[in-house]
Structure 1
Amino acid sequence: MGYPVYPRYKQSRIDWVDQIPEHWQETSIKRYFSIQLGKMLQPQSLEPKDLEVSYLRAANVQWESVDTNDLPKMWATPDEIEKFSVKEGDLLICEGGEVGRTATLGQIENPCIIQNALHRVRSTKNTSTAYLKYLMRHIADTGWFSILCNKTTIAHLTGEKLAEIGLPLAPLSEQQTIARFLDHKTAQIDALIAKKEALLQKLAEKRAALISQAVTQGLDPTVPMKDSGVAWLGQIPAHWGMTRLKYATALIVDCPHDTPRYSPEGDFLVVRTADLSSGVMDLSSAYRVDEDEYLKRIRRAEVKPGDILYGREGERWGFAAEVPEEPKVCLGQRMMQFRASAHFCPHYLMWHLNADCVYQQGVVDTYGSTAPHVNVETIKNYWLVEPPLTEQKAIAKHLDAVTTKFAKQVAAAHRAISTLSEYRAALITAAVTGQIDVRGVSLPDSSQQEAA
């Protein structure tokens, strides 16, 4: 990493640290921090003196930040409000869910308390909660919380377990230096990750726009245009026709409305909405079924290579992809199967189904729904444009080439994000466990950072 190490180390007795600098202590969290589990949710007033008060839940606490917008309220006595209250600078640690997820509380309107899915941690002597925050991230990354918590049921990080966690403790000035160093370096890394994520968003938007333009306007920008008469399709080439999905297909099959009986050793794969993205069927994580279940799943129609599978429910609805030559697959829940008519190129039809002009026709069924679901009749009646078959094939070939280039750019951005994330985690580990000595690292002061 390019940073110096401490001159001398000693073997650590803490389970998740091999060695620490010789002058650091080996202690536990309870000796230097106070821990308070939050109050059990009380939706109604139980005593005349009860007051309504805002509270924070585990969902409000994410790594690096606490969301204090639109907080819910519960009832509590004045004594409970004082006991469970939080203030700026408190460390909040999740007791359940992703146990150990930690963040520092920023400014908040008082009074506010914590629910019993959160621990509030405060320093009691010569310790920095900022240092402990990074230490908790390191412990989470090592998987130690999974060992510490009982995984046979729902995992919980009780106050007792949290209190007993081993703590490699540098002198206070070093803790503060380490925290400042990590604040600065992780901010730099996070900014680079944010740029890559912004690039991914731009690539996705550009890819979607190119698909929509190609399937609705073709590849010749000089061709005469006409109004399609459908708001989401807009102008289309004058010599193209209009049709509905039910006329562009020789077969439309909805999935069996029951949950497949999965078999890890089965020879057949079940395609779910999770296995589809725009024009891509990724079967690397697909669930399996045995032959009996497979035959049950294809009782309405066998899924053949070249068929198009389409997700119509859930957060990932609206994606379509073609079925490959191998392996044999069947429909999971929330899926539909289309087979193109003779006058439609299957690959063009697949790209058309991924276009925004089709997606928006399905949105009408999903407004205000917490579980998006597009009706089969709506899907059958999607408006499509119908170019001559030769143009359909040319458009499909063009989109294959274009989306392949996008896929390479997306893969490169994901690799960069993964590398940066791994470096971020490694840097936190090295700093909070004393593998590197950051005491001599020059950092910009706060005014310089704000100016930057």
Structure 2
Amino acid sequence: MSYFARSDELPAWVGALPSGWKSDWLKWSVRLSTERPTAEEQAGQPYISNEDIASWTGKLLNDQPRPAEAYGRKFQVDDVLLNKLRPYLAKVYHAGFNGVSSGELLCLRPSDIVLPRFLFYVLVSKGFIDSIDAETFGSKMPRADWEIVGHQPLPLPSLEAQQRIAQFLDKKTAQIDGLIKKKRALRNRLAEKRQALITRAVTKGLNPDVPMRPSGSDWLGSIPEHWEVRRLKFVTSAPLSYGANAAAEFDEPSWPRFVRITDVDKLGRLRDETYCTLPPEVAKGYLLQPNDILLARSGATVGKSFIYKESWGIACYAGYLIRARISAKYDARFFYWFLNSKHYWEWVQSTFIQSTIQNISADRYANLLIPHPTDRIEQQRIVNFIESTCAKLDGHVEKVRCSVERLEEYRSALITAAVTGQLEVA
């Protein structure tokens, strides 16, 4: 049972409600619907799972209804569906049609004292989500049951005020979402420009007038006449090798850092928040040297790469990674940047099509064809160009990211302020 069901205290997010507003437990103003569909309804009506709902916005991610994947529960127009699995994801949907939902969605049916759209905004407000998330049970798959959700307060202005607030939030959030969409589109264009720049530099070089020749590989196309194409295994000083099969259980700072691909952000940097280490006796044999390249071999991150820098301190690498140690006669950074090119990612995708499994072994990586200048100085010039240009683009991307983050924070604050009466809506 919720803490607030046993206390006169209200969550801080509700605050002091305006004069004329009421507050009651959610369970007195909405009904939990648990009606099961018939076999005919299950087969013929649209199905929604928690995965179909966008976090915080309540928008459906799938335009076309899909058949039910499991035996669910019926919902109808103006029900509000709330995800009880990992509630911090804030997946709430105001139903615009009749259908069947996953059992992980609580189906809430408003009474005549609360408007469905107002209820939606209360449930998707950050204060409400944080409040139920704080009372979830289960560490790996945290859930909030009806006892927790039903014993949360529901601010209740008049129906007329609810209507004004809902209409106001519909208009304002649509404007904010439009701005966010434009900024994300700009971020995507910058990312495409970044990859195009990298791809051209590592496959065509910096001189647009240099004579070209066929690379001998259709997916690589033409390359500068004086370049060569070699398999990855022929530019390394040691065979490609797998990392340590060990659990990430320690954070002892005097031990070698244990690098996993999930520790690497989009810019190839190690995240501080995922720091973990391995005992020296376990890490021995898997220690990284400066400019070692790590490649993800399976799962959602397969194909992702990372180049190790000495400034990150002593480190070793995990078993789902493959280490490529580039020979000293080459600039390893050039090969790392090739692993960020469009041509490389097309090779990764073609590998999946051939094997049908998202897995790339050390043997397959070893046979990856990589075009490159034979002159190390030219390799360094290309690397310096890529790094300086990408630094500028990454700065623009970071500004856009911060702008999106501020808009999302404003959106969240606006909803909470409106549904708790902190913001007067005319």
> TM-score, normalized by length of structure 2?
0.87
2:177 to 168, 180, 190: 190
* Pair 1:380 & 2:366 matched: yes
Aligned with residue 125 of structure 1, among 112, 121, 125 = 112
Larger Rg: 1
| Residue of structure 2 equivalent to 1:65 | 59
In the alignment, what sits opposite 1:19?
A: 16
Q: Deviations over 1:299-324 (max 9, x none)?
A: 2x531112222222222222323211
Answering whether residue 160 of structure 2 is matched by residue 173 of structure 1, we say: yes
In 2, Cα distance between equivalents of 1:153 and 1:233: 44
Q: Which runs of 5+ in 2 are unaligned?
A: 1-7
Please show how residues 286-305 of structure 1 align to structure 2 within 5 Å. 286-292=274-280, 295-299=281-285, 302-305=287-290
Query: Bigger shift: 170-179 or 329-338?
Result: 329-338
Structure 2: how far apart are the matches of 1:122 and 1:188? 28
- Give the secondary-structure state (helix, strand or coil) at the position aligned to 1:226: strand
Distance in 1 between the 2:294 and 2:228 partners?
24
Which of 56, 79, 101 aligns to 2:48? It is 56
Post-superposition CA distance 1:4-56 (Å, at most 9, x none): xxxxxxxx95323220101101212222222213649x9xx8xxx99745443
CA distance in 1, matches of 2:356, 2:418: 43
CA 1:157–1:53 in 2, change beyond 3 Å: closer, same or farther? farther
Residue 129 of structure 1 deviates from its aligned partner by: 1.2
CA distance in 1 between counterparts of 2:266 and 2:101 reads: 42
CA drift of 1:284 comes to: 1.6
Residue type at the aligned position of 2:67: L
Query: 1:177 corresponds to which letter in structure 2?
Result: R
Are the structure 2 counterparts of residues 277 and 245 from structure 1 closer, same or farther at C-alpha, using a change threshold of 3 Å?
A: farther
> How far apart, in 2, do the equivalents of 1:130 and 1:102 lie?
11
- Farther-moved stretch of structure 1 (318-327 vs 277-286): 277-286
Distance 1:183 1:377 in 2: 54
Say which of 74, 88, 94 aligns to 1:85. 74
Q: Does 1:104 align with 2:89?
A: no
State the secondary structure of the residue aligned to 1:200: helix
Q: 1:203 aligns with which of 190, 207, 212?
A: 190
Query: Is residue 178–residue 432 contact of structure 1 (8 Å, CA) maintained in 2?
Result: yes
Quick check: 1:322 aligned with 2:319?
no
Structure 2 CA distance for aligned equivalents of residues 413 and 141 of structure 1: 28
For 1:352 and 1:324, how far apart are their aligned partners in 2?
Answer: 18
Map 1:352-363 to 2 at 5 A. Answer: 352-363=338-349
Matching residue of 1:5: none
- How far, CA to CA, are the matches of 1:255 and 1:38 in structure 2? 52
| Deviation string, structure 1 residues 222-259 (Cα, Å, up to 9, x no partner) | 11111111112111111112211111111243223623
More deviation in 326-335 or 306-315? Answer: 306-315
Q: Secondary structure at the match of 1:62?
A: coil
* Secondary structure at the counterpart of residue 238 of structure 2: strand
CA contact (8 A) 1:24 1:168 kept: yes
SS at match of 2:237: strand
* Equivalent residue, structure 2, for 1:273: 261
CA RMSD in angstroms, aligned pairs only: 2.7
Q: What CA distance in whole angstroms lies between the structure 1 residues aligned with 2:65 and 2:213?
A: 48
Other-structure match for 1:443: none
Q: Structure 1's 196 and 370: CA in aligned 2 closer, same or farther, altered over 3 A?
A: farther
The TM-score normalised by the length of structure 1 is 0.83
Given the superposition, is the C-alpha separation of residues 324 and 391 from structure 1 closer, same or farther in structure 2, using an over 3 Å criterion?
Answer: same
Counterpart Cα distance in 2 of 1:203 and 1:276: 20
Counterpart residue identity of residue 81, structure 2: L
Contact 1:38 1:115 (C-alpha < 8 Å) held by counterparts: no
Other-structure match for 1:448: none
Answer yes or no: is the 8 Å Cα contact 2:258–2:278 preserved in 1: no
In 1, the alpha carbon distance for the partners of 2:354 and 2:59 equals: 28
In 1, the alpha carbon distance for the partners of 2:169 and 2:41 equals 42
Q: Which moved more, 1:92-101 or 1:415-424?
A: 92-101
Q: What secondary structure does 1:366 align onto?
A: helix
Shift of 1:217: 0.4
Structure 2: distance between partners of 1:273 and 1:337: 12
> For residue 442 of structure 1, what is the aligned residue in structure 2?
none
Q: Secondary structure at the match of 1:120?
A: strand
Aligned ranges for residues 229-378 of structure 1 at < 5 Å? 229-256=216-243, 258-266=245-253, 267-276=255-264, 280-292=268-280, 295-299=281-285, 302-326=287-311, 327-367=313-353, 372-378=358-364
Structure 1 or 2: more strand by fraction: 1
C-alpha distance in 2 between matches for 1:262 and 1:251? 29
Decide which of 212, 233, 237 is 2:199's aligned counterpart: 212
Hey, what's the Cα distance between the residues in 1 that align with 2:41 and 2:410? 49
What 5-or-longer segments of structure 1 have no aligned partner? 1-11, 77-83, 440-452
| Structure 2: distance between partners of 1:169 and 1:151 | 31
- Pair 287,95 (structure 1): closer, same or farther in 2 beyond 3 Å: same
Q: 1:302 & 1:13 partners in 2: Cα distance?
A: 54
